[in-house]
Amino acid sequence: EAGVAQSPRYKIIEKRQSVAFWCNPISGHATLYWYQQILGQGPKLLIQFQNNGVVDDSQLPKDRFSAERLKGVDSTLKIQPAKLEDSAVYLCASSGTLDQPQHFGDGTRLSIL
Amino acid sequence: GESVGLHLPTLSVQEGDNSIINCAYSNSASDYFIWYKQESGKGPQFIIDIRSNMDKRQGQRVTVLLNKTVKHLSLQIAATQPGDSAVYFCAERPSNDYKLSFGAGTTVTVRA
């Protein structure tokens, strides 16, 4: 089966600019997650969707980050405006249900200048 | 908050030897644990998981051991190969939540 697809693979922007990431989960997976992984650290959950509803967004910096999954399949994560500390890899993961293992995409590496 | 951590940030292993990667967790409410392997430039890859009603689970060349008494989790890799070189993360999930918490990872380097 095809894995989790993410694009772009790399993005370089200046601080205060905006950026968007796209994720296509494994077909049929109801649950979708966005993680932030800072260099040298483990992934940190930003937001979790079940179908098109938000399950948990307690760790999403909502003043600058937003995410949506309008039709319960693809998802986008946006940062506006970006700060230097947002430099990280943004990973998308999906699972069949909340109780099943999460499978990750290869992420988008974001660099803020 | 409570977190998951790994005992050692790095591990060097001779090719063909067995590897043991350790992880300590502090949340006694955790009932699900999972190991991921992350190669450079790629996303975490699922290796094996275990629920708290088990103390051992085996996969292909890998075994996960769970000791709930001392809140310790380990991943054993048999006959380590060069392709096993990666960062290994353990993650835990409390019984009342679906949120995974990851540790900082152990970098495994396989020596030829």
Check: CB of residue B22 under 8 Å from CB of residue B89.
no
Position of tokens 């918490």? B101
CA distances B99 to A11, A36, A76, B40, B73, Å, are: 27, 14, 20, 25, 18
Q: Which CATH superfamily is domain B4-111 in?
A: Immunoglobulins (2.60.40.10)
Rounded to an integer, the average pLDDT of A42-69 is 95
The answer to whether residue A41 scores a pLDDT higher than 70 is: yes
Give per-residue pLDDT as tens, B21-43: 999 988 888 999 999 999 999 99
- CB contacts, 8 Å: A103 with chain B: 46
Rounded to an integer, the average pLDDT of A36-57 is 94
Q: What's the pLDDT at B5?
A: 54
CB-based contact B43 A55, cutoff 8 Å: no
CB-based contact B98 A98, cutoff 8 Å: yes
Confidence of residue B2 (pLDDT cuts 50, 70, 90): very low
Give per-residue pLDDT as tens, A58-105: 999 999 999 999 888 999 999 999 999 999 999 999 999 888 999 999
Check: CB of residue B11 under 8 Å from CB of residue B21.
yes
Give per-residue pLDDT as tens, B40-89: 999 999 999 999 999 999 999 999 999 999 999 999 999 999 999 999 99
Token pair of A23 as six digits: 């994720």
List all residues of chain B from 8 to 67 with a beta carbon under 8 Å from chain A.
34, 36, 41-46, 49
Q: What's the pLDDT at B4?
A: 58
The answer to whether residue B1 scores a pLDDT higher than 70 is: no
CA distance A94 to A26: 7
- CB contacts, 8 Å: B41 with chain A: 106
Q: Which CATH superfamily is domain A5-112 in?
A: Immunoglobulins (2.60.40.10)
Domain extents in chain A: 5-112
Domain extents in chain B: 4-111
Give per-residue pLDDT as tens, B89-108: 999 998 878 889 998 899 99
Nearest C-alpha of chain B: how many angstroms from A17?
24
CB-based contact A56 B99, cutoff 8 Å: yes
φ, ψ for residue B81, nearest 5 deg = -115, 160
> In the A/B pair of chains, how many CB contacts fall below 8 A?
44
- CB contacts, 8 Å: B104 with chain A: 40-42
Q: What's the pLDDT at B103?
A: 86
Confidence of residue A22 (pLDDT cuts 50, 70, 90): very high
The rounded mean pLDDT for chain A is 95
Q: What's the pLDDT at A1?
A: 67
